[in-house]
C-alpha cells in the first residue's frame, strides 16, 4: 500500500519555543489517520507543515511522495481541507461558494456537493455569516469533498459542534470512505467520534510523537487492571507485582490498585493474578479516550 503522507523528522520552533520535535509518521493510502494531542501539543503546527503553509524548522513533509513546500500548488489540487474555524466570504451563500469553487477544480462534483448540503439540511441561499457554527462546518466539509480529493485533511472539524452536527459530519465521512476510499488525515480532540472510523492513531505529547500504531493493535494491548493488594511473607512491598507489565499509570485507591498497562496479554495476566497477595484481579478493555488520558494526560503541552 502506497504512502499518501510522510512526515520525516519534522521539528518546528517559534523563537525559543519548540512546538514539535523530530516527528515522523506516514499515512497509507485509503486509511483514516487520527493525530491526537492536548492543546499545545503541536498538532496545528504539523498540519500547517503538511499543507505547505509553514516550512518546518527541520525535516520535511511529503504529499504523494514529494516535498509539499516545493510542490504545494500541484499537490493541493488533489487535497480537500476543512479547518476548525470555518472561513469563507461572509456574504456568499453555500450555493455561491460551490459555484465559485467549481471554477478552481476540473474534477468538481456539483451533484455531490448539492447532495451533501441537502443531507446536512444546510440552506443553500443563506449568507455564510448567518449560518450556525455546525452549518458552517458542514458547508466547508461539502466544499472540501467537492473535487473528489485523494486526501482529506481535517483540523478539529467538530470543535464546538452539537451532537447532531457532529454525528452528521462523521456519517458523511463514513459514506465517503465507503464510496471512494478517500485517505483521511484528521487532527482532533473528538476521541469518541473518531474512534469508530480511525484505522491508525498517533499521539503527540509536548511536541513529541509518543505513539503511532493501528487502532486494533492499540486497543488490544491496553487494559485497565484493578485488584486488591495484600502483603505476604514472600512479597512485602506494594507495586512489585506489576513488574511483569509495562505499567503506564498506577494509582493506589482505598480498595486497592488501579493500573493501566500497555502490553496486556491473557497469559501474562494469568501469571499476574496467581501471585500471592493479588486479590480479585480484573482486566477491562479501554476506550480510545481512556488510553489517550493515560498516555498523554499527565502534563500540559507547550507547543502551538
Residue 236 scores a pLDDT above 60? no
C-alpha cell at 190: 473528538
Q: Which CATH number does 223-285 carry?
A: 3.30.70.260
Quick: pLDDT tens for 79-129.
Answer: 999 888 888 999 999 999 999 999 888 889 999 999 999 988 999 999 999
Provide CB contacts within 8 A for 187, sequence distance 6+: 34, 35, 36, 37, 43, 44, 46, 47, 154, 155, 156
**What strand order describes the sheet that includes 32-37?**
79-82, 151-155, 183-188, 32-37, 200-205, 208-214
Domains 3-217 and 223-285 are alike in CATH topology: no
User: For residues 157 and 153, what is the distance between their CA atoms, to the nearest angstrom?
Assistant: 10
Are the C-beta atoms of residues 37 and 201 closer than 8 Å to each other?
Answer: no
DSSP code at position 237: S
- Return mean pLDDT, the chain: 89
**Using 50, 70 and 90 to split pLDDT, how confident is the model at 145?**
very high
The residue-averaged pLDDT of 268-273 equals 92
Are the C-beta atoms of residues 165 and 142 closer than 8 Å to each other?
Answer: no
User: For residues 146 and 123, what is the distance between their CA atoms, to the nearest angstrom?
Assistant: 17
Residues 3-217, CATH architecture = 3-Layer(aba) Sandwich (3.40)
DSSP code at position 109: -
Residue 36, Cα to own-chain centre: how many angstroms?
Answer: 4
Q: Nearest 5°: phi and psi at 113?
A: -65, -45
* Cα-Cα-Cα-Cα dihedral sign, residues 15, 20, 24, 27: negative
Any bridge partners for residue 299, and if so which?
none
Q: Where are the domains of the chain?
A: 3-217, 223-285
Provide CB contacts within 8 A for 152, sequence distance 6+: 79, 80, 81, 82, 144, 145, 173, 176, 182, 183, 184, 185
Q: What pTM was estimated for this model as a whole?
A: 0.88
Amino acid at each position: 500500500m502506497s504512502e499518501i503522507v510522510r512526515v520525516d523528522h519534522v521539528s518546528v520552533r517559534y523563537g525559543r519555543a519548540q512546538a514539535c520535535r523530530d516527528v515522523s509518521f506516514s499515512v497509507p493510502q485509503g486509511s483514516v489517520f487520527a493525530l491526537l494531542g492536548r492543546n499545545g501539543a503541536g498538532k496545528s503546527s504539523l498540519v500547517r507543515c503538511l499543507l505547505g503553509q509553514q516550512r518546518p524548522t527541520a525535516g520535511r513533509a511529503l504529499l504523494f511522495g514529494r516535498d509539499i513546500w516545493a510542490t504545494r500548488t500541484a499537490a493541493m489540487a488533489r487535497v480537500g481541507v476543512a479547518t476548525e474555524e470555518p472561513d469563507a466570504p461572509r456574504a456568499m451563500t453555500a450555493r455561491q461558494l460551490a459555484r465559485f469553487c467549481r471554477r478552481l477544480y476540473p474534477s468538481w462534483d456539483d451533484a455531490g456537493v448539492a447532495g451533501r448540503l441537502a443531507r446536512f439540511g444546510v440552506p443553500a441561499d443563506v449568507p455564510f455569516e448567518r449560518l450556525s457554527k455546525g452549518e458552517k462546518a458542514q458547508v466547508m466539509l461539502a466544499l472540501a469533498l467537492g473535487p473528489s480529493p485523494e486526501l482529506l485533511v481535517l483540523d478539529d472539524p467538530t470543535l464546538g459542534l452539537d451532537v447532531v452536527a457532529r454525528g452528521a459530519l462523521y456519517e458523511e465521512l463514513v459514506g465517503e470512505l465507503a464510496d471512494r476510499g478517500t485517505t483521511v488525515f484528521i487532527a482532533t480532540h473528538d476521541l469518541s467520534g473518531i474512534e469508530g472510523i480511525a484505522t491508525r492513531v498517533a499521539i503527540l505529547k509536548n511536541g513529541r510523537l509518543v505513539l503511532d500504531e493501528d487502532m486494533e493493535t492499540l486497543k488490544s494491548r491496553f487494559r485497565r487492571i484493578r485488584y486488591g493488594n495484600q502483603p505476604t511473607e514472600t512479597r512485602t512491598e506494594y507495586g512489585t507485582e506489576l513488574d511483569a507489565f509495562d505499567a503506564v499509570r498506577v494509582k493506589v485507591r482505598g480498595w486497592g490498585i488501579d493500573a493501566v498497562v500497555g502490553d496486556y496479554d491473557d497469559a501474562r495476566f494469568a501469571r499476574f493474578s496467581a501471585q500471592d497477595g493479588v486479590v480479585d484481579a480484573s482486566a477491562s478493555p479501554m476506550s480510545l479516550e481512556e488510553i489517550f488520558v493515560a498516555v498523554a494526560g499527565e502534563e500540559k503541552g507547550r507547543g502551538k
